[in-house]
Amino acid sequence: MTTHPTLRALRTTPEGLLWEPGERWVRGRKGDVTVVDSRRPVLVWEPGVPVPLYAFPHSDVRQDLLRPAADPPIGTHTGSRIFYDLDLDGELLENAAWTFPAADLAGHIAFEWFRRSGRGLDHWYEEEEEIFVHPRDPHKRVDAIRSSRHVQVSAGGTAVADTHRPVLLFETGLPTRYYIPREDVRLDLLEATDHHTGCPYKGTAAYWSLRGGAEVPPNLVWSYPDPLAAVAPIKDLLAFYNEEVDITVDGEPQERPVTHFSRTSGPRT
């Protein structure tokens, strides 16, 4: 059998886009209407954006639902100039789709994802599994591994967790996250919030803030009550943002990492 190793190699366009052919069957829906149905998606990484998006051949898109955008945005999506509104029985979703100026991606259309941008298609599927926020990156790993390390967490100078049975979550490009059984966390110091986020690798997270006015951001703690099967060991365990708390592992204080989650009270994933 002949192999083609270059088929999955990343390409670079003069505009700074990275892209590669995808191999998953992808569908995108708005409500009950399937707008995209493709077995030939293309993964695209825009400059400075750590997560990919999908672009699809025109023939795999319900173009009868697209209208030239009445008010196309300027300076978004790597210089794109052609945008489309999505018309669903009179409901108009403005700037829900666009084409990239890159010659390599001519003939392809990309879509906004509601769970990421607040507009666009609200249900996406890879094969028969629903995914959220953005496509999964084939160059990224997420591993949840049970451990016996001694993990201690303090926030604002107060000890909030102490365990010898954490689950360590290793995710490419992010700090190790320490998921801790609830029995080993000072739950009396936590207050549930109405904040939730979605992750294509882990599922939907619920959040807590720290009581008592400590100098830490809100939504400091999260948990996945129903995680995806690949990270099942983290179910119902609690994790803290390493960026904002002090974590000691086996007696060794860990440096606080600096990431895009540092000192922010905005949406987190």
Same domain, 125 and 183: no
Report the domain count for the chain: 2
Q: List pLDDT tens digits, range 1-17.
A: 444 444 568 899 999 99
Residue 263 lies in a domain: no
Same domain, 238 and 150: yes
Same domain, 19 and 126: yes
Percent of the chain with pLDDT over 70: 94
Q: List pLDDT tens digits, range 76-89.
A: 899 898 999 999 98
CA gyration radius, the chain: 21
- The residue to which tokens 């979550």 are assigned: 169
Residue 266 lies in a domain: no
Residue 268 lies in a domain: no
Same domain, 126 and 196: no
Residue 262 lies in a domain: no
Note whether 179 and 166 are within 8 A (CB): yes
Same domain, 39 and 103: yes
The whole domain housing 179 covers 142-253
Evaluate if residue 214 carries a pLDDT over 90. no
Q: List pLDDT tens digits, range 118-127.
A: 778 999 999 9
Long-range contacts of 57-65 (CB under 8 A, 24+ apart): 57/107, 57/108, 58/107, 58/108, 58/109, 60/36, 61/35, 61/36, 61/97, 61/109, 62/33, 62/34, 62/35, 62/36, 65/33, 65/35
Amino acid at 240: F
pLDDT of residue 30: 95
pLDDT of residue 7: 54
pLDDT of residue 260: 80
Q: List pLDDT tens digits, range 225-256.
A: 999 999 999 999 999 999 999 999 999 999 99
Same domain, 126 and 19: yes
Helix (H) or strand (E) holding 159: strand 158-163
- The residue to which tokens 């023939």 are assigned: 59
Same domain, 95 and 13: yes
